[in-house]
Amino acid sequence: MWDYLKYYLAPLTQALSMLGLYMGGDYVWVGLGFFPLMAAIDSMLPLDLKARKMKSRGWAFVPIWLSTLLGPATYLMLAWSVAHHDLTGWQMFGGVMSCAWLSVVPMVPASHELYHARGRIGRTFGRYAQICFLDPTRMEAHVVSHHRDVGTAHDSDTAARGETLYSFAPKAVLESTLLAQRIESDALEKRGFARWSIRHHLWRAILAQVLFQSLIYWIGGWASVGLALVAMVIARFWVETFNYFQHYGQVRVAGSPIEKRHVWNHFGPLSRLVAFEITNHADHHLNTYLSYYELVPHREAIRMPSVFGCFMAALLPPVWFSLIIKPALRRWDNEWASAEERRLAAEQNRRAGWEDWLAQPPATASSSS
C-alpha cells in the first residue's frame, strides 16, 4: 500500500500550489518553492534502488491522472488569482514561475506516462495536457524519433558533449518541434493526404491552445492570458533541460540495439516519486509499454546525482562539466562503451575541446548492459 500512496506526493504538490494561488499574495510562490526544497532533500537522502511492489494498474494510475488534469487546472487557478487579488509585479512573477515549474514536474512525466500507454483515451489526454508547455505535438517526435534514435547524432534530445544547458535548450525546442510536424506530415502523405491536411495534429493543437486561452481570458482577462503564455514559454524550455540530464553525451551507433547503458538514471527518492519514475529511465527505453511502477532500477549503472542537483549544477557549466558529467562520461567510455562507441566518444571529446581520456586502451571495457 505504501508504494501506491507515496506517488500522491506529485498531485499533493500541485494541490498545495493551487492553494497558494487561491490565497494570493506571496503564497503564489509555493509552487516554485517546491523546486529548491526537493532539490535539497533529494540530494541529501540516500539513493532509492528498490523495485516497486505494485500489482494494480488501476490504482497506480490514479495519481497519474490527477497530476495530468491538475496541470491545466493550475493555470485556471492562476487566472482566478489574477482576477481576485491585487497582485504585485513580484507576486505575478511568482505565479508565473510556479505554473512553469509545475508544468514540468509533475506534469511532463504524468502526461508522458499516458501517451506511452496503449489506451486511446489516455493518449489523448496525455497529448492535450501538454498545452501547459505549448507542445501538444510532442508525442510524435518523442515516441517515433527519440526512442529510435536515442544516443545518436539524429536525436535532438541527446546533447552532444561540450553543449551547455543554455545552447542545448533553444536548439532542442526548435528541432523537436519541427521534427514532430515533419513526422506527422510524412505519415499523412503515406496515407494519401496532403502534408498539411486538416487531419494534421498541429491544427488540433492550435485549436486546443486557443480554446484553453479563451477559458483563461474568461476567468481572468488579458493579463491572465499574458501571464499564462509567459509561464508556458518558460516551461517549454525548462522541459528540454531534463532531456539534457538524462542523455547528455551518450553515444550509440545508429541502428545498433538500445541497451540499458545508453541512458543516465537518477535514483533520488523524491525525484523518482514526483517524476513518476521518469528518472529511473533504462527499462523505459527497452520497453516503452512498461508502466512507470514496473521499471526496475539499473543497479549496475553509473550512479548520477539527483536530477534536481544536476539542474542546479548545469546553471554553471564549469561546475556541471568538471564535477558531474565529465567523470561520469570518462567512466562510461572506459567501462561501458563498445569499441565503435569509444571512437564516436573520442570524436565528440575532440570537437568539444575536452581532454582525450581514451588515448590509452581502457583497463576494462564492456559493451553489455
Per residue in 3-50, pLDDT (tens digit) is 999 999 999 999 999 999 999 999 999 999 999 999 999 999 999 999
Question: In the structure, what pLDDT confidence band is assigned to residue 140 with cuts at 50, 70 and 90?
Answer: confident
Residue 367 has pLDDT above 50, yes or no: no
pLDDT at residue 369 in the model: 39
Instruction: State phi, psi for 83 to the nearest 5 degrees.
Output: -75, -30
Per residue in 64-73, pLDDT (tens digit) is 999 999 999 9
The one-letter amino acid at 311 = F
pLDDT at residue 191 in the model: 95
Residue 365 has pLDDT above 50, yes or no: no
Give the integer Cα–Cα distance in Å for 62 and 59: 5
Residue 198 has pLDDT above 50, yes or no: yes
> Which region among 99-113, 246-260, 352-366 has the lowest average model confidence (pLDDT)?
352-366
Instruction: State phi, psi for 257 to the nearest 5 degrees.
Output: -60, 145
DSSP one-letter code for 60: H
Question: In the structure, what pLDDT confidence band is assigned to residue 222 with cuts at 50, 70 and 90?
Answer: very high
- Domain hosting residue 167, numbered range: 2-352
What is the mean pLDDT of the segment spanning 146-174?
Answer: 95
Give the integer Cα–Cα distance in Å for 254 and 192: 30
pLDDT at residue 258 in the model: 94
Residue 234 has pLDDT above 70, yes or no: yes
pLDDT at residue 115 in the model: 87
Q: Is residue 117 part of a domain?
A: yes
R_g over Cα of the chain: 21
pLDDT at residue 144 in the model: 86
- How confident is the prediction for the chain on average, in pLDDT? 94
What is the mean pLDDT of the segment spanning 207-235?
Answer: 98
Residues in the chain, overall count: 369
Task: Work out how many domains the chain is built from and give that number.
Answer: 1
**Nearest Cα to Cα of residue 345 among 368, 260, 337, 256:** 337
Residue 231 has pLDDT above 70, yes or no: yes
Question: In the structure, what pLDDT confidence band is assigned to residue 160 with cuts at 50, 70 and 90?
Answer: very high
Residue 78 cell numbers, joined: 492562476
> Rounded to 10 degrees, what is the CA torsion of 248, 262, 348, 367?
150
Q: Is residue 362 part of a domain?
A: no
pTM: predicted TM-score of the whole model, two decimal places: 0.93
Per residue in 283-314, pLDDT (tens digit) is 999 998 899 999 999 999 999 999 999 999 99
**Cβ(64)–Cβ(276) below 8 Å:** yes
pLDDT at residue 364 in the model: 45
**Nearest Cα to Cα of residue 209 among 139, 142, 136, 138:** 136
Q: Is residue 125 part of a domain?
A: yes
Residue 211 has pLDDT above 90, yes or no: yes
Residue 128 has pLDDT above 70, yes or no: yes
pLDDT at residue 186 in the model: 96
Give the integer Cα–Cα distance in Å for 118 and 291: 10
Per residue in 161-182, pLDDT (tens digit) is 999 999 999 999 999 999 999 9
Give the integer Cα–Cα distance in Å for 90 and 104: 21
pLDDT at residue 290 in the model: 93
pLDDT at residue 366 in the model: 43
pLDDT at residue 361 in the model: 57
Q: Is residue 369 part of a domain?
A: no
